[in-house]
Amino acid sequence: MQNKTKNIFFKIISGLVLIQGVLQLLNLLGLVGYGRTTTSATKFYLGLVLIGGYAVAAMVGGYTGLKDGNTQEGCKRCFYFSLVLIAITIATIILNVVFKAYSVTQFEALIIPVLFMLFTILNGRKNL
């Protein structure tokens, strides 16, 4: 019963990651349409790269979790996608500190990628 619960939570968090990726992609499209009228070119293009990278990694990672989360190989891929999501989030926080746009609430952005990693590890151990 406990393994089934872990799998359900893993599927839920995978779905959330997939939805987050789609929302980030929509955010990216809105940002491109808005243009760089309020920020410098460096900040604008760094933002595009980070948002785009996060969107792609989240969509592919979430889809992989939903589709192949029951296999050891699928869990391994999800683990690497969660590492990418955490790295991009930390890079964004560091760049915000550099550009003096930092807020403590930005650490909340780590919640979903860390949960994705945690449930990936738990689900992967079940599949051993």
More confident residue, 65 or 47: 65
Q: What is the arithmetic mean of pLDDT over 34-62?
A: 85
Interior/surface letters 21-60, b for 16+ CB within 10 angstroms, e for the rest? beebbeebeeeeeeeeeeeeeebbebbeebbbbbbbbbbb
Listed by start position, the domains of the chain span 2-126
More confident residue, 105 or 55: 55
What's this model's pTM, rounded to 2 decimal places? 0.85
pLDDT digits (tens, 9 = 90+) for 67-90: 988 888 989 999 999 999 999 999
Residue with the two structure tokens 């079940």 = 126
DSSP 28-90: HHHHHHH-SSSS-HHHHHHHHHHHHHHHHHHHHHHHHHHHHTTSHHHHHHHHHHHHHHHHHHH
